Chain A
Amino acid sequence: MSLITQAMRGLRASGPLRGIPRANVERIATILVLVWAVGFMLWQGAGFTITLTTVFAIWAILAVSLNLVVGFTGLLSVGHIGFFGIGAYTMAILASDASYDQLRTESIPTPDWPFFAALPIGIAIAGLVALGVGVVFNRFRDDIFVLVSFGFAIISFSFFLNLRELTRGAFGIHEIPRPAFGGWVLDGEVEFLAFALVCLALVVLICWLIVTSSFGRVLTAIREDEEAIAVFGYRVTHFKLAVWVLSAMMAGLAGALFASWTSFIDPNSFILLESMLLTAIVILGGLATIWGSLLGALAFVLLEEGMRFLPFLPPEFVGQARQVVLGVLLVVLMLFRPQGLVGRYQL
Chain B
Amino acid sequence: MSVYSWKTLLTVGIALLLFPLALACGGDDEDEPFRIGVMESATGPGETYGTVAIQAKEMAVEEINAAGGINGRMIELIVEDSKCSAQDAITAYNKLTDVDGVKIILGTSCSGAMLGAAPLAERDGVILFSGLATNPDIAEAGDYIFRTSLNDAQLGVDTGNLLWADGVRTLATISESTDYAEGVRRTTVEQFEQRGGEVVGEERYASDATDFRTSLTKLFSENPDALHIASQSEFAGGTIVKQARELGYEGPIYSEIVPIGTTALEIAGDAATGLKAVITDIDPANEKGQEVLSNFRERYGYITLPWYLGSAYDDVYIAAECLKETGDDQDADGFRDCLYEITWSGAIGDDYSFDERGEVVGLTNVVVEVLPVSERNEDNNGYRVLGPAPGS
Contacts and interface: CB of A to CB of B under 8 A. Distances in A.
Contacts, number: 173
Interface stretch (B80-88, B240-248, B332-340, B347-355): B80-88
Interface in B150-167: 153, 156
Given A161-B206, A162-B204, A315-B58, A264 B9 contact: no
Contacts of A169: 177, 179, 182
A162 B204 CA distance: 9
A44 B99 contact: yes
Contact of B43 (A42, A158, A315, A323): A323
Contacts of A323: 43
A120 interface: no
Interface in B31-78: 38, 41-43, 45, 47, 50-51, 54-55, 58, 77
Task: Name the residue in A42, A51, A52, A305 with the highest tally of chain B Cβ atoms < 10 Å from its Cβ.
Answer: A51
Contact of B6 (A20, A39, A40, A305): A20
A169 B180 CA distance: 11
A318 interface: yes
A220 to B, nearest CB: 29
A265 B86 contact: yes
Given A103-B140, A264-B86, A315 B115 contact: no
B137 A24 contact: no
Contact of B4 (A20, A31, A162, A317): A20
Nearest to A311: B23
Nearest to A315: B79
B20 A43 contact: yes
B87 A269 contact: yes
Contacts of A20: 2, 4-6, 9
Contact of B177 (A35, A162, A262, A308): A162
Contacts of B180: 170
Interface residues of A, number: 60
Interface stretch (B11-19, B279-287, B315-323): B11-19
A6 interface: no
Given A28-B10, A48-B99, A104 B190 contact: yes
Contact of B13 (A32, A258, A263, A318): A32
A309 B20 contact: yes
A53 B182 CA distance: 35
Given A18-B2, A20-B2, A39-B17, A319 B153 contact: no
A182 interface: no
A104 B99 contact: no
B140 to A, nearest CB: 7
B311 interface: no
B24 interface: yes
B353 to A, nearest CB: 22
Interface stretch (B90-98, B265-273, B364-372, B384-392): B90-98
Contacts of B2: 16, 18-20
Contacts of B156: 104
B112 interface: yes
A316 interface: yes
Interface string A185-229: 000000000000000000000000000000000000000000000
B170 interface: no
Contacts of A316: 42, 51, 54-55, 58, 79
Nearest to B115: A264
A172 B86 contact: yes
Contacts of B183: 105, 171
Contacts of B21: 39, 42-43
Nearest to B21: A43
Interface in A35-86: 35-36, 39-40, 42-48, 51-52, 55
A24 B6 contact: yes
Contacts of A106: 182, 186
A47 B97 contact: yes
Task: Name the residue in A169, A171, A265 with the highest tally of chain B Cβ atoms < 10 Å from its Cβ.
Answer: A171
A2 interface: no
A25 B6 contact: yes
B129 to A, nearest CB: 17
Contact of A174 (B1, B24, B77, B137): B137
Contacts of A16: 2, 4, 9
Given A28-B10, A262-B90, A316-B42, A171 B20 contact: no
A51 B90 contact: yes
B137 A103 contact: yes
A307 B178 CA distance: 29
B135 interface: yes
Task: Name the residue in B50, B58, B91, B135 with the highest tally of chain A Cβ atoms < 10 Å from its Cβ.
Answer: B91
B17 A51 contact: no
Task: Name the residue in B54, B116, B206 with the highest tally of chain A Cβ atoms < 10 Å from its Cβ.
Answer: B116
Nearest to A316: B54
A320 interface: yes
Contact of A48 (B24, B98, B115): B98
B85 A171 contact: no
B119 interface: yes
B136 A103 contact: yes
Contacts of A35: 13-14, 17-18
Interface string A308-342: 11010001111110110000000000000000000
B4 A104 contact: no
B157 to A, nearest CB: 9
Interface string B100-117: 000000000000100110
Contacts of A305: 91, 95
A333 to B, nearest CB: 14
Given A16-B4, A162-B204, A264-B119, A315 B77 contact: yes
21 contacts: A20-B5, A42-B21, A43-B24, A44-B98, A48-B99, A104-B136, A104-B187, A105-B136, A105-B153, A106-B186, A162-B204, A169-B177, A170-B178, A171-B182, A172-B86, A174-B115, A262-B86, A308-B80, A308-B92, A319-B47, A319-B81
Closest 3 CB pairs of A and B: A319-B42, A47-B98, A19-B2
